[in-house]
Structure 1
Amino acid sequence: MMNNYNYVLAFIFFILSCCNVKEVPENELVIKVKDDILDNINYSELISDIEFIKLDENPDAIITQIDKILFHNNKIYILQRFFNPRVLVFENNGKYLYDLGKEGDGPGEYMYPYDLLVNNDTIELLVANFIYSYKENNGKYIGSKSIGFPAVRFKKTSDGYVFKCGGDEKEIFITDNETNVLSKNMDKGIRNEINPLISFHPQNDNLLFHMTLNDTIFQIQNNKLTPFRIINFEKPLTDEVLNNLYHRNNSSISELKKNMGDYMGYLKVYVENESHIYFTYMHKNQNIAFLYDKRKKEGWSIDPSEIKNNVTFEGYAPFIMDTYNNTFVGYISYPHSSIEIPNGEIKNDISEKLMRELNSEKINVDNPILFKLKFK
């Protein structure tokens, strides 16, 4: 059922090359990334704990694509933007409850939902120039409000919202609770660019933001963006390089990635919790995943051709999307959903936990399996 999204999963998780991070002084918020290699380990060696959630396989609950996973009040919300756009709601144990609205043009219905969040006892859904509101306890439609500009990502702040704008807008808009614009930030962007999947990242008392073609992680504070972390690539995608690779002749993002060569950049995923930072970037026309331990001030990239996935037995490592309660959140998918675990391969607590969740040593699932994991 996940055929349409398999290429994204395979593409997200990296091939060739790795990085080694040297110690960073306490007063520096710089992550130095070089072209080194980490290999010859099992994926389970990176993980200290993991929880699996097998989603209901009710015919009404089959997912074709996951764009966002949101945990709130013992419920799981899954946003599926394209390929039958919808928001599915599950109990914490994976049992399907209902859809939030539906595809259409009536009250509470939508064609292209871009993002969702929790605002007190309300679930809010960003649909182009509007925010739709639904009751958190039962999913009933409340109403909508116009925000006056196109947007593709948003996040609630203590006194308003922050939006990543789409269409002809290339900026970050910070607004009050009524979506009146208080400030505009970041005048560089890619028209209609809707990656990364998750743009805004709450981290302790900070709200962080990153953009695909930028090596800076920004902090949103006092109605403005200020640099918070710098990813110092050995061979970065500078503005000059981007002008040559992308802006010249209005090349597409796919053309940019194809012609990057030895340049390093293009952050599609960036998430962090109290102990680790995890992001993906491109190098030599491949997506590389990078894991940074904030306690040790060192990090590594993960090469699936050299690192054995003895956790979920996919051909790539599990796809990490976001964080929740200091864990990293993501999903694993088994296309056409029949994988038999090789004899003797279940030799770690993590893969045994997955088998107990499935109650079998043969995987037969039509829906992806969610996980919350902690790295060592």
Structure 2
Amino acid sequence: MKKTATLVIIIIILLSCKKESQINNVTGAKEIDMTIGRNSKNFCELVDDIKFIRLETSEESLIGTIERVKIENDRIFVHDYKTQSILIFSYPDGKFLNKIRSIGNGPGEYTGVFDFNIIENQDCVMILDGNLRKLFKYRFDGSYVSSKRIPFFSRSFLYLDSQNLLFNNYSLDDKKYAYKAIITDTTLTIKNSFFEIERFYSFQMGHGNQTSKRTDDSALFLPQNSVIAYKVTKDSIVPRYFFNFKDRWNEDILYQKADGFDSFVFNIKKKELVYGLGMNESTNFIIADFWTADLRHLVVYNKNNENLNYINNTKNGFVNNKFVPKGYYQDYLLTTLDHEHIKRALTIDKDCYFNEKAKKTVDNLNDNDNPVLVLTKFKN
């Protein structure tokens, strides 16, 4: 009984909200007016170029659920959430090359893929297992190389440069390392940390804690439950973008205690608040996606002319709730669509110039074939 009471107290503390200002200091950040629905356009109007790549389907390369995609060194790397695998295809023809999958608790085995990155000039993939708190290194052929233990919990990471890594850390069973951003060297020794975590959220909502490479020695970091994205180097973290949703954003509600997940979502929907903000950045564009109620919004922001457009969400068109950004390659947004989605979109978005490309891509695709990789470049 005593243990139960103690556990309840701990949970209440973890779900409690410590009062802070809603928006932190954004001095120096580029403010982006995110007024919902402004400058809405159809997907076809905004696209400059689009590519459809069929990912080869075989018994060994069958994909369950695509979590994220990276393209590097003329290879496509797909994180399959369902099978907890990294599948490797050739770029741009989509031919299957190999799969990295080593599930278990033995030497060289991981329990789950939380994130992965490609190690340049080594033909190796580094896999983060948040459960085991380890980084695993595998060659492209799937063979195990090494593993290192991380002294904190993290869900994503990347290399700032050849000597420094950036981790996000938002779950806390060790207050000593409770920071939103942690910098380590290649031995995983902590060198720097930013944003001590003082508030805990009731439920994990949306993307958050995203990291994306910007230059050779910096990254863009979007913390959990934040509308401020930061530029991170090994020595500093400064506000880079402020996504201003005005009265549609209420950070505090994301930290309030809730009776359950359904009631938590109900409160957000009732107030018509924004949640689940995610973003991808390329040289010329920022693609932001987020939710209000049951609707996913997709926003294209041109960094050169500061023009922002909302893409109309159509139930059966190319852009709907299933059109989820998976990453960026050069100036192309990466998404994946199943062939039924594309076929339906062809009948809805009839005026899209790229319909012929799509038709050729989905010809002869079967229900069990892998999703199609879609690379979208927006107009400057």
Matching residue within 129, 133, 136 for 1:132: 136
Give the number of equivalent residue pairs.
337
Cα 1:252/1:32, change in 2 over 3 Å: farther
3-state SS in 2 of match to 1:60: coil
**Higher normalized contact order (CA 8 Å, seq sep 6+, divided by chain length):** 1
Residue of structure 2 equivalent to 1:327: 332
- Residue type of the alignment partner of 1:163: F
Deviation sequence 1:271-321 (CA, Å, 0-9, x none): 121222111123345332211122221212223249x83xx4x75573222
Q: Which residue of 1 aligns with 2:46?
A: 46
Q: Report 1:315-354 matches (<5 A).
A: 318-334=323-339, 339=343, 347-354=351-358
String of CA shifts for 1:47-93, please: whole Å, max 9, x gaps. 00011110111122221111111112222111123x33211121222
Q: Tell me the secondary structure at the aligned position of residue 320 of structure 1.
A: coil
Show CA shifts across 1:149-177 (max 9, x none): 22110011122111112541452111111
The 3-state SS of whatever aligns with 1:175 is strand
Aligned partners of 2:202 and 2:257 also within 8 Å = no
After superposition, what is the alpha-carbon deviation per residue over 1:170-209, rounded to whole angstroms, capped at 9, x for unaligned? 5211111111111221224548848527711122454100
Partners of 1:135 and 1:141 within 8 A in 2: yes
Q: Does 1:91 align with 2:90?
A: yes
Distance 2:188 2:86 in 1: 23
**More deviation, 254-263/141-150:** 254-263
Q: 3-state DSSP class of the match of 2:326?
A: strand
Greater mean alpha carbon deviation, residues 85-94 or residues 209-218? 85-94
Unmatched tracts of structure 2, length 5 or more: 1-27, 173-177
Correspondence for 2:155: 152
1:258 to 266, 277, 285: 266
Which of 276, 282, 285 in structure 2 is aligned with 1:273? 282
Q: Is the alpha carbon distance of 1:341 and 1:38 closer, same or farther for their aligned partners in structure 2, counting shifts above 3 Å?
A: closer
Stretch deviating more after TM superposition (182-191 or 249-258): 249-258
For residues 323-372 of structure 1, what are the alpha-carbon distances to aligned partners after superposition, in whole Å with 9 as ceiling and x for unaligned?
Answer: 1112111111246x894776797554312112223345x77562111121
Quick one: which amino acid aligns to residue 157 of structure 2?
F
* Alignment map for 1:1-376 (pairs within 5 Å): 29-38=30-39, 42-81=42-81, 83-92=82-91, 93-120=93-120, 121=122, 122-128=124-130, 129-136=133-140, 138-158=141-161, 159-168=163-172, 169=178, 171-188=180-197, 190=201, 193=204, 195-196=206-207, 199-204=210-215, 206-239=218-251, 242=252, 245-250=253-258, 255-260=263-268, 261-262=270-271, 264-284=273-293, 286-305=295-314, 309=317, 312=318, 318-334=323-339, 339=343, 347-359=351-363, 366-376=369-379
Which residue of 1 is the match for residue 8 of structure 2?
Answer: none
Of 227-236 and 188-197, the range deviating more from structure 2 = 188-197
Q: How far, CA to CA, are the matches of 1:340 and 1:263 in structure 2?
A: 29
Secondary structure at 2:313's aligned position in 1?
coil
- Where in structure 1 are there 5+ consecutive unaligned residues? 1-26
Distance 1:222 1:161, change over 3 A: closer
Contact 1:101/1:108 (8 A) holds in 2: no
Q: 1:295 to 1:262 in 2, by over 3 A?
A: farther
Aligned-pair distance for 1:139?
2.8
